[in-house]
Chains A and B, each alone.
Chain A
Amino acid sequence: MFEYAPAPESRDVVDIKPSYGLFINGEFVPGSSSFKTVNPANEEVLAEVAVASSDDVDRAVQAARKAFGVWSSMPGAERAKYLFRIARIIQERARELAVLESLDNGKPIRESRDVDVPLVAAHFFYYAGWADKLAYAGFGDRPLGVAGQVIPWNFPLLMLAWKIAPALACGNTVVLKPAETTPLTALLFAEICQQADLPPGVVNIVTGAGETGAAVVAHPDVNKVAFTGSTEVGRIIARTVAGTSKKLTLELGGKAANIVFEDAAIDQAVEGIVNGIFFNQGHVCCAGSRLLVQESVQDQLLDSLRRRLSTLRLGDPLDKNTDIGAINSADQLARIRQLSDLGEQEGASRWSPACELPEKGFWFPPTIFTGVAQSHSIAREEIFGPVLSVLTFRTPAEAVEKANNTPYGLSAGVWTEKGSRILWMADRLRAGVVWANTFNRFDPTSPFGGYKESGYGREGGLAGLEAYLDV
């Protein structure tokens, strides 16, 4: 095994203020109360952040409503130029955003620097180009109005980009609520909107917990609700907007099958499995959390997988050599622990590599469960952590049967050297994204979203425009 000297990314590039207000109508305003956001890697308090009350949310929606007149009547080419500006400023301030994201979220700097932030800039760049080309997309060019958007903590800035970029390109204005545990990059984004001279009120950021989100969703002057998060909250939101004229898109949980056939390139498959479930500590709605491996290669694959897991480095998210960072919050850690303990109680075998966990902060080692049955909780429930459940199959038909045996349908992976089998499987998998011989690939041009209880609507690509237009 290699020894690695510490290689920490400097946090000097980020200037975190002691406290942050709400971003309403182009300026920061105080909230009525506040909460603390902490670095999950060491539990250090990073900043005090305002809580938006329902009155604050109302002010934000009013600002967005007022700005809607200006923004929606502006020529698409001019809206495009604002979005291009934002994309460029994100590129210019990329390192600052990456470090701040890792501090607030706990994800390794390698991921925030090489995946999250570049995708954020690309997403704005992509939808900027659509703003004056809506006539070619086939959904008309009438925006909906004010979009209320609630996003999760696993990819804080990337989920913001997925929500705000298409909304603005189509001529809507937004009130966005970042997750309670990861508000800081959204607040830095507010500053970026100021630098871009974006008209006040076009983007409003209201921080807070579930109550703030509920106020955004329920506000009567919101025309569109977009939510990414758990299926449980998604159901509540769908009930809330029932009977209104609000348009709703939901991107919810998943329990993706990553299916490995005996003819697959095993080393590549192992990399894909690791990327599929341990990327971002498994805090990924489309994570490949169920490994379905063909019986004949099970032993070989699991040997390779265990060997590979032993080389993963867990620790300081700001260290450039870190593979696995911190679990985002104490609550999430408790949930992962609870479900993992349940996995053992229900009879599956648990394995983790020898792995020293830091004393402070929220940490969970990469974990594999073998001997998992479809009835086990860890094969059915979304754990949203670095925990892989291994099941086996004998025939392609059985693989399809098991992969689809879930209320979710966000993504799936197929590993085989046979192209026709990839396509045969893809035809039968009830999932919004099917990755073949790769996993967890994202691109602004490629639509993303789920079947069944993983939600409805698509984000990304041409299809992503539909959610923000009055079709």
Chain B
Amino acid sequence: MSRLSVRKTYKLFIGGAFPRSESGRSYVVTSPKGDFLANASRASRKDARDAVTAARKAFPGWSGATPYNRGQILYRIAEMLEGRRGQFAEELPLGKKAGLEQVDAAIDRLVWYAGWSDKIASVRGSANPVAGPYFNLSTPEPSGVVAVIAPSDPLLGLVSAVAPVIVTGNTAVVVASESSPLAAITLAEVLATSDLPGGVVNILTGHQAELAPWLAAHMDVNGLDLTGVADPDLALRCEQEAAENLKRVIRPSSPDWSADPGIGRMTAFMETKTVWHPAGV
């Protein structure tokens, strides 16, 4: 008799822990062919608020860590993901070969962003030669808590959206792809074992149309990445809600995730701070 496998319970990832939705709800996730895969947690407004609280709590520590330290941790995430290549390739709804290619691209994407942690300030900061006896220096800083409505591309898209948010020192609340959320929760297991402080990345699974507006309207969220929102009405509503506390917004798009990502996803959620100081005896 063949052995009966032990299935994994897919839960949320909030503050470094894996709770079920406080609402007790779940929804069925199926393979592209329609086969049952799992009951994923269906996060509620309360879960989203808990996630924002966790992200805000993690922000001072994470943004205050040295860029070198953040780079080391992102690189560590890449190392942990590399160790689970096979598992991800199987979980992605792509077939083995395409799945492996996507995992490899996601690992390389993490390495790319890891290197940016201590370089973005050199590329985007400046010493400003003001016309007077002043030292004047501009440096980029993270915006704060960023809500990411993740693209449907379940691993590469997710990693490509989350890594640029956190590498600069922001913390994130991520709404995973509604149709393929399982890789996001498995990625949470990678994050949880990569020395990433709890709360820096929080991952919710559930209905995008239910969760996105709460996050868009949340007054303690500073940035909103709508890349994964396919419904134009929902995107419009979210962007309008985001206007209330002037969140920095990335509008929906369908990027080619295999292309050079550039630095736009980092700079979208960065502020520039300019410091003046007089020079004189």
Q: Are A and B a genuine interacting pair, yes or no?
A: yes
Given A129-B71, A420-B279, A462-B111 contact (CB < 8 Å):
no
- B116 & A129 in contact (Cβ 8 Å cutoff): yes
Q: Kindly list chain A residues whose C-beta atoms are within 8 Å of the C-beta of B67.
A: 445
- The distance in angstroms between the C-alpha atoms of A371 and B279, with both chains bound, is 31
Produce 1/0 per residue, B264-281, CB < 8 A to A: 000000000000011111
Interface size class of B (residues with CB under 8 A): 20 to 34
Residue of B nearest to A419 (CB): B277
- A77 & B281 in contact (Cβ 8 Å cutoff): no
Say how far A196's CB is from chain B's closest CB, in angstroms.
Answer: 14
- B277 & A461 in contact (Cβ 8 Å cutoff): no
- A126 & B111 in contact (Cβ 8 Å cutoff): no
Say how far B172's CB is from chain A's closest CB, in angstroms.
Answer: 21
- A84 & B75 in contact (Cβ 8 Å cutoff): yes
- The distance in angstroms between the C-alpha atoms of A423 and B133, with both chains bound, is 9
Q: Kindly list chain B residues whose C-beta atoms are within 8 Å of the C-beta of A129.
A: 71, 114-119
User: Is the C-beta of B135 less than 8 angstroms from some C-beta in chain A?
Assistant: yes
User: Is the C-beta of A58 less than 8 angstroms from some C-beta in chain B?
Assistant: no
- B279 & A125 in contact (Cβ 8 Å cutoff): no
Produce 1/0 per residue, A420-443, CB < 8 A to B: 110110110000000000000000
- Which of A77, A84, A424 meets B280, CB within 8 Å? A424
Given A423-B135, A445-B118, A462-B123, A132-B112 contact (CB < 8 Å):
yes
- Which of B72, B122, B263 meets A125, CB within 8 Å? B72
User: Is the C-beta of A362 less than 8 angstroms from some C-beta in chain B?
Assistant: no
- A77 & B111 in contact (Cβ 8 Å cutoff): yes
User: Is the C-beta of B68 less than 8 angstroms from some C-beta in chain A?
Assistant: yes
Interface centre among B108, B112, B279 (most CB of A within 10 A): B279
User: Is the C-beta of A11 less than 8 angstroms from some C-beta in chain B?
Assistant: no
Given A80-B111, A125-B71, A136-B281 contact (CB < 8 Å):
no
How many A residues face the partner with a CB closer than 8 A? 27
- A122 & B68 in contact (Cβ 8 Å cutoff): yes
User: Is the C-beta of A69 less than 8 angstroms from some C-beta in chain B?
Assistant: no
- A396 & B281 in contact (Cβ 8 Å cutoff): yes
Produce 1/0 per residue, A139-181, CB < 8 A to B: 0000000000000000000000000000000000000000000
- The distance in angstroms between the C-alpha atoms of A81 and B75, with both chains bound, is 10
Interface centre among B71, B118, B278 (most CB of A within 10 A): B118
- The distance in angstroms between the C-alpha atoms of A462 and B123, with both chains bound, is 8
- A420 & B277 in contact (Cβ 8 Å cutoff): yes
Q: Kindly list chain A residues whose C-beta atoms are within 8 Å of the C-beta of B114.
A: 129
Q: Kindly list chain B residues whose C-beta atoms are within 8 Å of the C-beta of A131.
A: 115
Q: Kindly list chain B residues whose C-beta atoms are within 8 Å of the C-beta of A84.
A: 75, 111
Produce 1/0 per residue, B39-70, CB < 8 A to A: 00000000000000000000000000001100
Q: Kindly list chain A residues whose C-beta atoms are within 8 Å of the C-beta of B123.
A: 136-137, 462
Say how far A242's CB is from chain B's closest CB, in angstroms.
Answer: 33
Q: Kindly list chain B residues whose C-beta atoms are within 8 Å of the C-beta of A445.
A: 67, 118-119, 122
Residue of B nearest to A461 (CB): B122
Give the contacts of B76-127 with A (CB-CB under 8 A). 108, 111-112, 114-119, 122-123
- B111 & A420 in contact (Cβ 8 Å cutoff): no
Give the contacts of A22-66 with B (CB-CB under 8 A). none
Residue of A nearest to B118 (CB): A445
- A423 & B277 in contact (Cβ 8 Å cutoff): yes
Residue of A nearest to B67 (CB): A445
User: Is the C-beta of A402 less than 8 angstroms from some C-beta in chain B?
Assistant: no
- The distance in angstroms between the C-alpha atoms of A126 and B123, with both chains bound, is 14
Q: Kindly list chain A residues whose C-beta atoms are within 8 Å of the C-beta of B115.
A: 80, 128-133
Q: Kindly list chain A residues whose C-beta atoms are within 8 Å of the C-beta of B280.
A: 420-421, 423-424
Residue of B nearest to A261 (CB): B281
Q: Kindly list chain B residues whose C-beta atoms are within 8 Å of the C-beta of A421.
A: 280-281
Q: Kindly list chain B residues whose C-beta atoms are within 8 Å of the C-beta of A420.
A: 277-281
Say how far B116's CB is from chain A's closest CB, in angstroms.
Answer: 7
Say how far A444's CB is from chain B's closest CB, in angstroms.
Answer: 8
Residue of A nearest to B68 (CB): A122
- A125 & B68 in contact (Cβ 8 Å cutoff): yes
- The distance in angstroms between the C-alpha atoms of A275 and B18, with both chains bound, is 48
Residue of A nearest to B134 (CB): A423
22 contacts between A and B (CB under 8 A): A77-B111, A77-B112, A80-B115, A125-B68, A125-B71, A126-B68, A126-B119, A129-B114, A133-B112, A136-B119, A136-B123, A136-B263, A419-B278, A420-B277, A420-B279, A420-B280, A424-B133, A444-B118, A445-B118, A445-B119, A445-B122, A462-B119
Name B's A-contacting residues (CB within 8 A): 67-68, 71-72, 75, 108, 111-112, 114-119, 122-123, 133, 135, 263, 277-281
Name A's B-contacting residues (CB within 8 A): 77, 80-81, 84, 122, 125-126, 128-133, 136-137, 396, 419-421, 423-424, 426-427, 444-445, 461-462
* Extra 6 A-B pairs, beta carbons < 8 Å, given A424-B281, A426-B279, A444-B118: A77-B112, A80-B111, A126-B118, A132-B115, A136-B123, A424-B279
